[in-house]
Amino acid sequence: MSRIGKKPIVIPQGVTINVDNNLVSVKGPKGNLTFQYHLDVAIEITPENILVEKIGKGKNAPAIWGTTARIIGNMFEGVTVGFKKQLELNGVGFRMALAGRKITLALGFSHPVEVEIPTGIEVAIEGNTMTVSGIDKHEVGQFSANIRALKPVEPYKGKGFKYVGEHVRRKEGKKSSK
């Protein structure tokens, strides 16, 4: 039994929701989001909240029930507040620069790496910190993960991309035997 799926989702002020043919549309001050939900769940709308109910009898119906409730809650948070992830780049000679809708990264490779910023995502760079923000939690998280995967932090010197607040376990280097 999903504890997340049982809880009603409160509709924030200034947000409108529309459910039509297993498609949820949420409109708020920051933008619009849509989500096509599975047929194993049903969505019931009241004036102040939304209730997601499990109607399927399959093995994965409870998982889909809780996931659908969480995605709709994240849609509400996205169109009202938005989501933000911060990445930190450490390392001598590692640089990042923003040029229009492209990020140019010098990561110690023989060539600079250019990454196109998808629509719906905003990127700001201050010093060695990159802030990725947008209204869709999945897009913000996936773009941040793609950037981090270009040069993940290594455990010996701590060089590479890491999330702000992420703790990296450092390893001890080789010792000379005398």
Q: What is the pLDDT of residues 110-145, one digit of tens each?
A: 999 999 999 999 999 999 999 999 999 999 999 999
Residue 59 inside a domain? The answer is yes
Helix (H) or strand (E) holding 171: none
Specify whether 7 is located in the same domain as 30: yes
Residue finishing a domain among 80, 113, 144: 80
Residue 176 inside a domain? The answer is no
What is the domain-level CATH number for residue 39?
3.90.930.12
Q: Mean per-residue pLDDT for 55-82?
A: 91
Residue 147 inside a domain? The answer is yes
Interval 39-57: pLDDT, tens: 989 999 998 899 999 998 8
Q: How far is 167 from 172, CA to CA, in rounded Å?
A: 16
Residue 49 inside a domain? The answer is yes
| Counted domains in the chain | 2
Q: Mean per-residue pLDDT for 74-91?
A: 95
Is residue 108 within 8 A of residue 6, CB to CB? The reply is: no
Specify whether 25 is located in the same domain as 87: no
Specify whether 61 is located in the same domain as 74: yes
Specify whether 148 is located in the same domain as 124: yes
* Mean pLDDT (the chain, rounded): 92
Residue 172 inside a domain? The answer is no
Specify whether 76 is located in the same domain as 97: no
3 versus 53: the higher-pLDDT residue is 53
Q: How many other CB atoms sit within 10 Å of the CB of residue 22?
A: 13
* CA torsion through residues 67, 69, 75, 80, sign: negative
Pick from 11, 5, 138: which is nearest to 80 by CA?
11
In which domain, by residue range, is 158 found?
Answer: 83-163
